[in-house]
Amino acid sequence: MKAAPEDQVVLLDLQRLDNDVTRLTHRITALQKGDRLTELGTTAAGLRAELAAATGRVEDAERDLARLESDTATAQARITRDTTMLQNVSNAKDAAGLQSELESLQRRIGDLETAELEVMEQLDVYRARVGDIEAQLADVEASRSTLVAERDTEIARVEADRDAAVQSRAAVAAKVPADLLALYDRQRARYGFGASLLQGGVSTASGVTLTNSDLQTIRQAAPDDVVLCPDSDAILVRTAESGL
């Protein structure tokens, strides 16, 4: 393929802009993934699971307390009833039975009140744990919201830079002959680089110093010959810096 040397030189600008677009696209992808955001999301999910479990323990304890209080109220009502009956009973045997039941009910109330105190103490612990987890979760969510806002701002900035690079790339590509541009795009799609500057005998795309044999072949090529780099397969752009 033949192409004017000045058209081949334009490919270096095109490659630079393509590199910028690729770099900025990778930056956007990295920001969208957000390792720190992922970490905070995992932490928040763990805290929500802990909160659900801790809240369940609080609800269980509250049900236990409500049941104990109900049992205590029932026992107290029976004491009130039996006390009234005892005041009005005349049969010694019936009186002894009522007295025995009253003593049993008093012991029952004592046991229930002890159990209530234990549950109330445990409930305080459970509620405090719920409060601690809620505070931790609030801190994590606040940090996550801040990071999301910062990330979105940065993504918007990088996207603007990428859009500008894409527009500049289109303007530069319009200056390149169609057949040369097609070759450039094909080589870049296949090998990652479409154009490479030969600078001091080194191909910038591969970073490799060309052999004397390769350099001799390139020296023999006409200035408007399109030469491919033997290492990167990119279009090798020759300038005064090439060391030929």
Looking at the predicted structure, is the pLDDT value of residue 40 above 90?
Answer: yes
Looking at the predicted structure, is the pLDDT value of residue 201 above 80?
Answer: yes
Integer Cα distance of 182 and 147 in angstroms: 42
Q: For residue 236, what are the contacts with CB-CB under 8 A and spacing of at least 6?
A: 196, 198, 203, 218, 227, 228, 229
Integer Cα distance of 144 and 171 in angstroms: 40
User: What is the Cα 244 distance to its own chain's centre?
Assistant: 52
Integer Cα distance of 20 and 169 in angstroms: 10
Integer Cα distance of 138 and 90 in angstroms: 68
Token pair recorded at residue 11: 């490919």
Mean pLDDT in residue range 122-145: 97
Strands 208-209 and 202-203 turn out to be antiparallel
Integer Cα distance of 205 and 215 in angstroms: 16
* Residue carrying the six token digits 């009910």: 105
Mean pLDDT in residue range 50-65: 97
pTM of the predicted protein model: 0.68
> What percent of the chain has pLDDT above 90?
84
Token pair recorded at residue 155: 């993504």
Any alpha helices (H) in the chain, and if so which ranges? Answer: 5-33, 35-88, 92-173, 178-191, 212-220
Compute CA distances 208 → 7, 111, 223, 240, whole Å. 24, 88, 22, 19
What is the CATH code of the structural domain delimited by 34-160? 1.20.120
Mean pLDDT in residue range 95-107: 90
> What does the pLDDT read at residue 91?
84
> What does the pLDDT read at residue 90?
76
Mean pLDDT in residue range 40-44: 94
Amino acid in position 189? A
Looking at the DSSP assignment, which residues form a beta bridge with residue 238?
198
The 3-state secondary structure of 9-76 reads HHHHHHHHHHHHHHHHHHHHHHHHHCHHHHHHHHHHHHHHHHHHHHHHHHHHHHHHHHHHHHHHHHHH
pLDDT band at 12 (very low <50, low <70, confident <90, very high): very high
How do the domains of the chain map onto residue ranges?
5-28+177-238, 34-160
pLDDT in tens, 211-233: 999 999 999 999 999 999 998 99
pLDDT band at 25 (very low <50, low <70, confident <90, very high): very high
